[in-house]
Amino acid sequence: MSKTQTTIKELNWAQARDRVAALNPEFAAIIDEISPDKNYKLFLASYPYGEYVLRHGKMQLPNKNGELVAFDDPSHGDTYSKHIGYNLGSNPVSMVLQNSFEIFLPLDDRTIPLYGLIQPGSIFGTYKILNPQSTNQPAFIWDMTAGSRSMFLLPKVTEAEKHFKLMKKYRLNVAPPKNLVDHWSVFKGIANHPDFAQSWNAEILFFSQDWFTHLNDPAWKQFTNYLYKYVWQASEYWRNQFFWDLIFSLIQHNRNLRLSPYIADTVKYLLGIGMGYMSGFSPATTEIAGPIANIQAAYINDYGLKAYPPIIMHPTRFQLFNPDSSPVYYSLQFPCSIEFGPKSRSRTTLFKDLYEIQYLLAKYVEEIAKNQFNIEKTTLFEVIKNVDFTFFHTKSEIENNICDSARMPQEDKYLLTTIDGKVYDDFPTTCAFVKGCIRITNKSEAS
């Protein structure tokens, strides 16, 4: 049984207003001006760590028996289908109120985080309601969880004896993780056990369909304009993706580059991380992604992880224009590019792939820096001026400017520091994630 149960309750604007205003005062002021009555329903849902909000794109809600089932399950009656089932059965227009959620595409060997962590104050699920008559958006195929799904420990935690000791403490039956994507099942199991020392939940506010029946009404003009503005800003990269793809293709054509689609897709994704639109990974420094401190404590005290720090990584968006932002990482061992170009048919190695990615990225930077494509006013041009991409492998100071992974914690203190402040001396330089890893930093951060 979960320590914290999933709950949902119906609210009106007066009941939800203060929490919305604390996170997004502009949006709250617009709604205050409209002064919607109690017929404009809101639903406040709370999910424990790791619980599914969407499965295969379909919204999951608790019924009267406490079971988490699809929104249109007969046990719900027609309440949710009627009021919040309008977005192709996925989440309705939503606002995060506490902690975070992750939308991701689940694959056999990894997950692909689509938006990083969706944090408090974020509004999403608006695309279809703003264009109900004609849309290119298909039915959803992704999942969504409370807290981070794409979360894992850096050090290896595959020792059977130690793992079963941890499972015995929390009376669970989860096999030792075979790869990084398996860590989440263990995290979820222990975090929701009654013996776990910390309660953690994420909260989300669902807007009912009635909120969007007056989008053309003059009295709701500011509300409608706010949503359009919000979507316009959030879709900047995707609206211009055609141009980026064209520029990358022109560079490959002009330089007569013959590399595998996998290499080209990875380089495009790295540049997307640098622009702040794609997700990389960073060490957890807060509890927003999940109950980090006590998961770390469980691996120290119950699993018996002693030599290395139990550093937990989760999806993060790089902050290009923030000189104080922390590094973000991408690993060839946890590829999350949203394109799946095949690798070369010739025999390859992780190091060879890393070298080819470095080579192609350098060519892209050289060509873009010439400004022959007239993009000096774009975010992509800012990336090549202001962002460093540093390549790491577990071999020591290899040729071709690929660095020893042992250097990584020297330039990022959070790779050695747990969330409660304990600092370690040793870094797991042989762990999978850092074997073929790229660090993205602002140029002022690390040399």
How high is the pLDDT of residue 138? 63
How high is the pLDDT of residue 364? 92
* Nearest in space to 17 (alpha carbons), one of 30, 4, 5: 30
Query: What residues are paired with 106 via a beta bridge?
Result: 111
Q: List Cβ<8 Å contacts ≥24 apart for 234-242.
A: 236/277, 237/272, 237/275, 237/277
E-assigned strands of 368-419? 387-393, 402-404
> Can you give the pTM of this predicted structure?
0.92
Centroid of chain to Cα 420:
23
How high is the pLDDT of residue 446? 46
How high is the pLDDT of residue 418? 94
DSSP letter at 146 equals E
Using the CB atoms, write b or e for 356-381: b if 16+ within 10 Å.
Answer: bbbebbebbbebbeeeebebeebbbb
Query: Mean pLDDT for each 10-residue chunk of the chain (447 residues)?
Result: 78 98 98 96 97 95 93 93 92 97 90 92 92 66 95 96 96 94 96 91 97 94 96 88 88 84 93 94 97 96 93 95 88 85 68 92 92 88 94 76 91 94 92 94 69
Q: Please name the helix (run of DSSP H) or strand (run of DSSP E) that holds residue 69, with its range, or none.
A: strand 68-70
- Domains of the chain, CATH where assigned: 7-149+196-230 (2.60.120.10), 236-442 (no CATH)
How high is the pLDDT of residue 66? 87
What is the C-alpha to C-alpha distance for residues 251 and 217, in angstroms, rounded to an integer?
Answer: 48
